[in-house]
Amino acid sequence: MEWERLAMRYAVPLVDLDAAWRTPAGSALVEATLDDQEHDDADVVTVHGKDAIVLRGPGPRVAAIVAAFVAAVAVAPSAPTVRVFANDGAGWYRVTVAPAAVELPEEQPVFEDDEAEEVLAHA
């Protein structure tokens, strides 16, 4: 299943990714950020005078990465600040609120086996 791409473009300065890479939680986010990038095809833009990599991949994944970087500042103030910028076609601006979560499909999965459903409900 192919997810929709976000209409908004998001970018993270390379200098911020480098600082985050040096922390345990930050390195996991940096790896997730770069996972969908291909070395030769990485889209690097200049945002407020800094080189920044444009986040690519399925919309929900990009939204989750943006949300994680935005939340990291609130959760761990001592962690390196990773700025995320967005561009909706009117120019780059700093993101301070995570993008809206992707809505779940209206049809929820059902279980035919009542015992299996109960086990999962208590997991």
Q: What is the pLDDT of residue 23?
A: 77
Comparison of pLDDT for 40 and 3, the residue scoring more: 40
pTM of the model as a whole: 0.69
Write the CB contacts of 103 (distance below 8 Å, at least 6 apart in sequence).
Answer: none
**pLDDT more than 90, % of the chain:** 16
Q: What is the pLDDT of residue 118?
A: 63
Burial 20-44 (b: 16+ CB within 10 A, else e): bbebeebeebbeebbeebeeeeeee
Find how far residue 93's CA is from the centre of its chain. 16
Q: What is the pLDDT of residue 11?
A: 92
Residue 71 pLDDT > 50, yes or no?
yes
The single residue listed with the structure tokens 């969908």 is 36
**Structure tokens belonging to residue 20:** 């985050």
pLDDT in tens, 26-60: 777 777 777 766 555 778 899 999 999 898 877 78
Q: Where are the domains of the chain?
A: 9-121
**pLDDT more than 70, % of the chain:** 65
Find how far residue 7's CA is from the centre of its chain. 14
Banded model confidence at residue 2, pLDDT cuts 50, 70, 90: very low
